Amino acid sequence: MDNPIVIAILVVGVIGLLCAVMLTIASKFMAVEVDERIPQVRECLPGANCGACGFAGCDGYAAALVEDPELSVSLCVPGGATAAASIGKVLGREAGDVAKQVAEVRCSGTCEATSVKMDYKGLESCAAAKLLFGGTGKCVYGCIGLGDCAQVCPVSAIHINGGLARVDASVCIGCGLCAKTCPNGVIAIRPADAHMVVDCNSHQKGAGTRKSCSAGCIGCHLCEKNCHTGAITVTDNLASIDYAKCDGCGKCIEVCKAGCLVALNITKAEVING
């Protein structure tokens, strides 16, 4: 027993044992009961932690879902219908319909179509550039192109191309973080299967838009008059599309003089038939 090695081993062993006993007792008596459905619900969510549901990440939404039986199970945009259905299964609730949504940069102002009004050397941030005379571009409504949206995108779906942010719709999860970040409000969330989009955000009068950009909506009402479903309305010199009404006939694109209307999901046959 006098061997110092034995004493050292005993001392460390006893201290370790005391710690272990203390921790075991503590975890037994102070265990917090976690609803076992929370991890199950969490499993159904994609884990992008994008915050599109309005809660602090996927864990927050899972906890809120279990606690509040009234909460809709279809708030997760990236997870879409599959996530909603599997959550509904875990919690025994009906899942509503969730359409896949993607972000759309409503601006066609590439370097060819429009130009800058200043030689901006400041912070590489749209929010900062916006403070200087409404942005670097001639059009104060359009995409500034410094990439605040690309920075917040959790899946790197946005890239700056030709001075303009572009969304890769196949990668986009529709969380809407970019739409919240854009200081000009250029980015909108649209259904992924929309037929048409208006890629312009300018509310200037036609002549003003023409001066600053060759691809902007001039509010000429031609598309509105030629739309047989009444899906297009022009308000404040800007056309907007009711995606639910649009059937993708493509007539509006034929008559659009500015070229700000962009066809997405229409085939040539559909254009002719429409």
Partner 1 sequence: MKELLAIVMAAVLVNNYVLAQFLGICPFLGVSKKLDQAAGMSVAVIFVMVLATAVTYPIQNFVLNKLGLGYLQTIVFILVIAALVQLVEIVLKKYIPSLHAALGVYLPLITTNCAVLGVCISNVDNYMGVTAFAGSFVQALFNALGSGLGFLLAMVLFSGVRSRVDKCKCPECFKGMPITLISAAIVSVSFMGFAGLVENLLG
The residue ranges that bind partner 1 (CB under 8 A) are: 4, 7-8, 11-12, 15-16, 19-20, 22-23, 26-27, 30-32, 123-125
Residues 55, 68: Cα–Cα separation, whole Å: 13
40 CB contacts (<8 Å, ≥6 apart)? 90
Q: Rank residues 125 and 240 by Cβ distance to partner 1 and give the closer one.
A: 125
Minimum CB separation from partner 1 for residue 15, in Å? Answer: 6
Classified as helix, coil or strand, 73 is: coil
Residues 266, 229: Cα–Cα separation, whole Å: 16
Minimum CB separation from partner 1 for residue 117, in Å? Answer: 22
Q: Rank residues 50 and 113 by Cβ distance to partner 1 and give the closer one.
A: 50
Minimum CB separation from partner 1 for residue 30, in Å? Answer: 4
Question: Do residues 139 and 258 touch, judged by C-beta distance below 8 A?
Answer: no
Question: Terminal CA-to-CA distance of the chain, rounded, Å?
Answer: 98
Minimum CB separation from partner 1 for residue 18, in Å? Answer: 9
Q: Rank residues 9 and 171 by Cβ distance to partner 1 and give the closer one.
A: 9
Closest CA to 90 of 58, 145, 43: 43
Q: Rank residues 7 and 171 by Cβ distance to partner 1 and give the closer one.
A: 7
Angstrom CA distances, 126 to 40, 83, 111, stand at 40, 34, 16
Minimum CB separation from partner 1 for residue 43, in Å? Answer: 21
3-state DSSP percent of the chain in helix, strand and coil, to 5: 35, 15, 50
Q: Rank residues 24 and 156 by Cβ distance to partner 1 and give the closer one.
A: 24
